Structure 1
Amino acid sequence: MHSRSSRCCVVAFIVLLWQLPLLAEEAAGKTIMARGSVQASAEQQSRALKRQSPVFGVDLVSTGSESSSQLRMKDGGLLSMHADTELAIRNYPSGQGGAQGAVSMDLLKGGLRTITGSLPQSAKDYQLNTPVATIGVRGTHYEAVLQQGDLYLAGWDGIIDIRVTVPGADQSFSLGPEQPFRFAIVRANGEVELLLRAPTIFAAGQPGTLADQTEFTGQQLTAAMSDGGLDLFVKSPALARDASGVDFYDNSYLTAGWGMDTITRSGIASFDQLSQHSFSSTAGSLSDLSMSMEIDFDSAWVPSGQLSFTDAGGEWFATFNGVFGEQSLELFINFASHGNQVADGSISGVFINDATAILGNLNLAELDHPTVRLDGGFVLTEQP
């Protein structure tokens, strides 16, 4: 008769056997956020993904309803997957050890937002296949969503080259800020609609870009905030200039080297005390400033956030949410307005002082009058 410990060893050995092909292959990336049901399937086996779980160049990654995930690839690329999404990673070189090859993935259902990494050098080096079109990328930030057989596309930054693959509807076009159009819909029958405005399906609006890789450690940041707070950065080289000529600190400089893995807090916290800021508006002085952000440390995401400031043109208002990135909070504005005008923009942030405060940047501008804008930095804390 086998002992219980012997049976456990046999089970562990069997599990190891089916994992061997993956263990022998270098991971193409890792999971930096998994909310709800997130699975990876390979070699006819399925495994649950959680934060820090590896993903490989042979995985079929899927998210369930009311679920989402972010994957950080070895070349620095970011894949942010919507709910009810299936993404087959056909080939994704690790980018290390001289690994070569083109990126190839299949979006089978759902949607994703992608910021490409260092591997794609041309449209031929990166290919996302969908049931109706193939997307080639030339170093960019884009979004693709499949809904009821139609493919919705947004070229947020750089250029994406689209080739319609529906039989009998072969055509090609490009999207991006420097192209005639940034948005398009490829219908299930192959027809193409080119759009000047983002379809409502892209509820997050235009997300911000990834931080540049510069050298500034989390330890330096925490020490600096303890010593001088926001005033220190007004005198530092980490400055950018907003539309009104007012200096504010640049999170691209601050977040480099900052590791989200160092956060040890748990539970849900509300950051709703705007303790410091450098906000300015081209429409005049600000009053009635209010800002809040809910943080779920257990699930590594930002369920909700909102802000409201008033100037001579009316109230600036925005709602946002996001997830924990590898170096900073990945925050996305869902809706923004100024008075009766629709607005858009970006928001970014990092945790400081043992995750008891959030240091960030905010940029908002009216869509129809982009010179009317609000910019600045902030420190958001919990109520004492």
Structure 2
Amino acid sequence: MNSNLTLLNEKQLCTGALLLSLLLPLSVSAAQAGKTIMSRGDVVATDTATEALRNLKRRSPVYDVDIVNTGASGQAQLRMQDGALIALKAQTQLKIDEYQQGAEGGSVVMELISGGLRTITGEIKGDKGNYKLKTPVGSIGIRGTHYEVEWKNNELFLAVWDGTIELDMSNATGGGEGPVLLGKGGDFSFAKVNQSGTVTSLLKPPSELSSISSTVSQSAQGSESDEDTVAISNTEVSTSTQTSLPFLAGNVSQIVRDVSQNEFINEQELDSLGVKPLSELIAERSGSAAYSVLDRIDAISSLGAVSSVNMQMSVNFDRGTVEQGALSFQDSGGEWFAAFNGLINQEGMTLGVNFASHGQNLATGTIQSQFTNGLDRLTGSFNLQEVENPSVVAQGAFILSQP
């Protein structure tokens, strides 16, 4: 009887071990690459080895055998093991082939099959060729950066907000161009690439890039608070006082009424990632800071060459506002000028133009900006046009830093 009992126990143990191995295939065959810090709508991971499906919720792990899929209204944020943050847009497929952090910097191999993402890279950098994001037309290497990429209508759209990426179009149907640098190490920061590998440089972020919501809504999966997920604060701003800045001295009589009305400030949010380190820096910062050094400017006008570009912005961290800002430059039609202000929050800033002109003509337009490199720099773009003659336009992208 004891022998039969022993045999039965052995069979039960074997059966239990088999069931456990079937239920937990990832624990043996895959390594954890990161975790989910925000999930909205349909977000599913497919194990490429077993084809098993898992719904990703907040705190769910992702592995180096996963294809992460977001639905038509789905979005997700992933915090990778090296600290990188990846925000996935709706209708995106991202395949994680390899994500290993090691003593010599680690290795990253991912593939954007469809859709788009925005990422701030972590400790694993690409200076040794150990970071690769494959796309339908080629692969992207990075040198420590913040960039955005989207495959849409058989074209690849790219925006580099900080740092440098290198695009190798070896997968393009036409062979593509040689490696192209975008960002700080290249001639431009924004581009689109067609299926044959032809690169078109852009002076502002491509309008085709889909938005990424940075607010964690009530529909986001999971009810527990997560230290990595940051919600935007929409704080009303008092407009009773305005501080004049020296760089506006020559234009105050013309624009003081427009600026004092502060007509733009509202609750619209700038597209951003909700990165915890940045929110902490903003929360800890006090006082005001002037951003007045143009590290980079790419500007064009419908009337020809642009010159004498000046831009300054004053940020009040105590009030959470961009108190005043001004942009000016020259073309053959005269001076373009724009005065603007706005809000800052834990994710970035929202700006609005209060007054704009070109020569003697009224103008209108938009200015967008966000913090990069901690709080030391502002990266953004502008688009201006005359009110009476909308065909007269000027646009560009900038990087602005503190003195």
TM-score bracket, normalised by the shorter chain, equals: 0.5 to 0.7
Tell me the CA shift for residue 202 of structure 1: 3.1
- 2:39 corresponds to: 34
- 1:114 corresponds to: 119
On the 8 A contact 1:159/1:176 being kept in 2, the answer is: yes
The count of residues paired between Structure 1 and Structure 2 equals 280
- How do 1:1-384 and structure 2 match up within 5 A? 14=19, 17-22=22-27, 25-42=30-47, 43-93=50-100, 95=101, 98=103, 101-122=106-127, 124-165=129-170, 166-171=172-177, 172-202=179-209, 261=226, 271-274=234-237, 282=245, 283=248, 286-288=260-262, 290-292=265-267, 316=341, 330-331=347-348, 336-339=352-355, 340-346=364-370, 367=382
Report the secondary structure of 2:187's partner residue: coil
Aligned in 2, Cα 1:157/1:14: closer, same or farther, shift over 3 Å?
Answer: same
- Distance (Å, rounded) in 1 between the aligned partners of 2:381 and 2:26: 52
Aligned in 2, Cα 1:15/1:67: closer, same or farther, shift over 3 Å?
Answer: farther
Aligned in 2, Cα 1:134/1:12: closer, same or farther, shift over 3 Å?
Answer: same
What letter matches 1:50 in structure 2? K
- Distance (Å, rounded) in 2 between the aligned partners of 1:64 and 1:12: 35
Gaps of 5+ in 2: 1-14, 215-223, 249-255, 270-320, 327-337, 356-363, 383-394
Tell me the CA shift for residue 169 of structure 1: 2.1
TM-score (normalizing by structure 2): 0.56
- Distance (Å, rounded) in 2 between the aligned partners of 1:37 and 1:184: 30
On the 8 A contact 2:38/2:229 being kept in 1, the answer is: no
Tell me the CA shift for residue 151 of structure 1: 0.7
On the 8 A contact 1:287/1:311 being kept in 2, the answer is: no
Gaps of 5+ in 1: 1-9, 208-258, 295-306, 321-328, 349-359, 376-384
- Out of 188-197 and 71-80, give the one that drifted further: 188-197
- Distance (Å, rounded) in 2 between the aligned partners of 1:280 and 1:56: 52
Tell me the CA shift for residue 64 of structure 1: 0.3
Tell me the CA shift for residue 260 of structure 1: 6.2
On the 8 A contact 1:338/1:366 being kept in 2, the answer is: no
Tell me the CA shift for residue 292 of structure 1: 3.8
TM-score (normalizing by structure 1): 0.59
- Measured against aligned partners, the alpha-carbon deviations of 1:331-350 in whole angstroms (never above 9, x if no partner) come to 575x75443242121269xx
Report the secondary structure of 2:195's partner residue: coil
How well do the aligned residues superpose, as a CA RMSD in angstroms? 4.7
Report the secondary structure of 1:17's partner residue: helix
What letter matches 2:95 in structure 1? A
What letter matches 1:149 in structure 2? N
- Larger radius of gyration between Structure 1 and Structure 2: 2
Report the secondary structure of 2:149's partner residue: strand
